[in-house]
Amino acid sequence: MSEHRNPYIQELVDDGKKDYLYHLGLDSGMDLPAMFGDVKFVCMGGSAKRAESFAKRLAADLDLGIDPESLKPIGKTERGSLFKVGPILSLSHGMGMPSMSIFLHEVTKMLEHAGATDYRYIRIGTSGGVFRPDDEKAGTVIVAEQAINEELQPIHKKVKLGKVHYYETWFDEEMAAEVLSVRGDIRAQIGKTMGANDFYEGQGRLDGALDPEYTEEDKLEYLNKAYDVGVRNIEMEAPELAAFCNRAGIPAALVCATLLNRLEGDQVTSTPEQLAEFSENAQTLVVRYLRKKLNLSVDLEADAI
């Protein structure tokens, strides 16, 4: 079996040439097997700061004997930050699908060069909830079963050489169920996650800089349509992540905190403390899942906020 999913990369490696992972600041001439051969989970989120704080939290919570303060980013940090905590990577991918796609390609090639096997990807993100009254409220964590694009279709469109290609957007059903199973006292549910190409008009907001050329009524009609096809939250990466992992055959989960209810408004008005709590709940769910997968005990009441 070839080591690389892409035959062109296989050829490059077979020809003894280096593969430059430009945005990570790493290359295949480094001892990637020693650095990353044991990786089993790649946890990722948009912000470099969160990649670091999550790595520190993993070091503190996973009984791996790693001092959180000893953690340093690996590679370069201009575009994103990468940390390793035992068999887990904590990586930032920036905002939006183009940025995430770059990191998905490079981290996947990195793991291939390293000879890592049976690894899984988990995005821990933030999002806007789409909740009807008495349904759920801001703070609820959504574990995605499928990604929906901004045209409310369960597909990801990718333009290659000027032609549109369509890819499936399912997430790994077993992983989603396993993440949800450790929710304990954390408000969490399975739902579909819409990934838009923009935070403002692409998510039907009325509070961008430009006249949106649609009304509050149009917005609510759209968000209600989204709800009716099963969307429970909106962010900016879901279809790219799902489609990439489906094509690569990598099991993946998407676990997002909801910062607000989009059926109630557009602005993110919670305090920094509340926002931190919401994000931490999504992280806690993933830490519990990782503890379970690493055969460590899981306390379903610990750390929930």
Q: Which residues bind ligand URA (CB under 6 A)?
A: 126-128, 199, 203, 234-236, 259
For residues 41-60, which are near ligand R2B according to CB under 6 A?
Answer: 46
Q: Does 199 bind ligand R2B (CB under 6 A)?
A: yes
Position closest to ligand URA via CB: 128
Task: Determine the Cα–Cα distance for residues 251 and 223; give it in Å rounded to an integer.
Answer: 29
Ramachandran region, residue 225 (left: φ > 0; alpha: ψ -120 to 50; beta: rest): alpha
Residue 11, classed as helix, strand or coil, is: helix
| Minimum distance from residue 125 beta carbon to ligand R2B (Å) | 5
| Minimum distance from residue 259 beta carbon to ligand URA (Å) | 5
Query: CA 26: distance to chain centroid?
Result: 22
- Residues 210-249 vs ligand R2B: string with x where CB under 6 A? -------------------------xxx------------
Read off the DSSP letter of residue 171. Answer: P
- Residue 19 vs 235, nearer CB to ligand URA: 235
> What does 203 interact with, of ligand R2B, ligand URA, none (CB < 5 to 8 A by kind)?
ligand URA
Q: Does 200 bind ligand R2B (CB under 6 A)?
A: no
- Residue 88 vs 241, nearer CB to ligand URA: 241
| Minimum distance from residue 290 beta carbon to ligand URA (Å) | 24
Query: 10 Å Cβ neighbour count for 121?
Result: 26
Query: 10 Å Cβ neighbour count for 161?
Result: 5
- Residue 106 vs 235, nearer CB to ligand URA: 235
Longest dimension (CA), the chain: 61
> What does 150 interact with, of ligand URA, ligand R2B, none (CB < 5 to 8 A by kind)?
none
- Residue 95 vs 305, nearer CB to ligand R2B: 95
Angle at 245 between CA 241 and CA 246, to 5 degrees: 115
| Minimum distance from residue 296 beta carbon to ligand R2B (Å) | 29
b or e along 53-73 (b: 16 or more beta carbons within 10 Å of the residue's beta carbon)?
A: bbbbbbbebbeeebeeeebeb
Q: C-alpha distances in angstroms, 43 versus 2, 87, 124, 231, 304?
A: 25, 11, 7, 23, 19
CA Rg value for the chain:
19
For residues 69-108, which are near ligand R2B according to CB under 6 A?
Answer: 95
Q: Give the type of residue at 219.
A: K
Interface stretch with ligand R2B, choices 8-16, 21-29, 119-127, 271-279 (CB under 6 A) = 119-127
Residues that bind ligand R2B (CB under 6 A): 46, 95, 125-127, 199, 235-237
